[in-house]
């Protein structure tokens, strides 16, 4: 399948936006990833953050990541307010979404389902609340498949009739910049993607490294 440069697609959209009042619902996976995304998008949009991540395990970790996002919200609200939509933690929804795929590793079909069910909730809310656009911070991670994320976004745009902002935030040193900003703002950066399976996978990798084995 043809590989599309979604960073360029985003730049094409940003170029034709009417003013900086265009309403964007931004799905945020965590505070550190949101820093650089907000740096890029804040001048183009009226932004509302949506921390919709029932995949995160355990609940304490979910609360910890949400707290960091609230910190980022307050930092970036300095010149222009960044809003936030409340979300509810119900991990049963995640387990339903990835049923039968639990044993697949990170980057597999399990993750595609995990992106899709979170992004679908964001698209639904964006439509319901009258946003002009929706998107996600997920593409900033080098471990996330930007081609798949954007294909899901395109599908949801058609399904719900709300614009999807194509993106590949890791490009143009975006990921590196998110690490720099996270350290500048002293944010907590998690060591695993989020779900219980990724926590177990990260534990196994760590153990193998400690035992001096190849991974």
Q: Please, which residue, 107 or 161, has the CB nearer to ligand SF4?
A: 107
Q: Minimum CB separation from ligand SF4 for residue 33, in Å?
A: 12
Q: Please, which residue, 14 or 202, has the CB nearer to ligand SF4?
A: 202
Q: Which one, of 43, 15, 42, 6, lies nearest residue 172 by Cα?
A: 6
Q: Please, which residue, 182 or 190, has the CB nearer to ligand SF4?
A: 190
Determine which residue in the list 24, 38, 40, 111 makes contact with ligand SF4, applying CB under 6 A.
111
Instruction: List the beta bridge partners of residue 26.
Output: 49, 135
Q: Distance between CA 118 and CA 101 in Å, rounded?
A: 16
Confirm or reject binding of residue 97 to ligand SF4 (CB under 6 A).
no
Q: Minimum CB separation from ligand SF4 for residue 199, in Å?
A: 9
Q: Please, which residue, 13 or 196, has the CB nearer to ligand SF4?
A: 196
Determine which residue in the list 27, 65, 84, 110 makes contact with ligand SF4, applying CB under 6 A.
110
Binding mask 191-210 for ligand SF4 (x = CB under 6 A): --xxx-xx------------
Binding mask 39-78 for ligand SF4 (x = CB under 6 A): ----------------x-----------------------
Binding site for ligand SF4 (CB under 6 A): 55, 98, 106, 110-111, 114, 193-195, 197-198
């Amino acid at each position: 399948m043809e590989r599309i440069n979604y960073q360029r697609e985003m730049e094409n959209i940003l170029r034709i936006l009417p003013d900086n009042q265009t309403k964007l619902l931004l799905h945020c996976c965590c505070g550190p990833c949101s820093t650089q995304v907000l740096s890029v998008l804040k001048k183009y949009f009226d932004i509302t953050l949506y921390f919709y991540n029932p995949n995160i395990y355990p609940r304490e970790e979910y609360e910890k990541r949400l707290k960091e996002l609230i910190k980022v919200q307050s930092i970036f609200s300095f010149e222009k307010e960044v809003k936030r939509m409340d979300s509810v933690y119900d991990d049963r929804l995640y387990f339903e979404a990835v049923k039968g795929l639990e044993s697949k590793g990170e980057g597999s079909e399990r993750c595609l389902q995990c992106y899709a069910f979170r992004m679908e909730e964001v698209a639904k809310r964006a439509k319901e609340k009258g946003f002009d656009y929706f998107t996600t911070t997920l593409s900033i991670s080098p471990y996330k498949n930007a081609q798949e994320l954007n294909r899901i976004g395109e599908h949801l745009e058609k399904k719900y009739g709300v614009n999807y902002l194509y993106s590949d935030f890791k490009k143009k040193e975006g990921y590196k910049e998110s690490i720099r900003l996270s350290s500048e703002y002293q944010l907590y950066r998690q060591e695993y993607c989020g779900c219980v399976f990724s926590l177990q996978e990260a534990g196994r990798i760590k153990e193998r490294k400690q035992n001096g084995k190849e991974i």
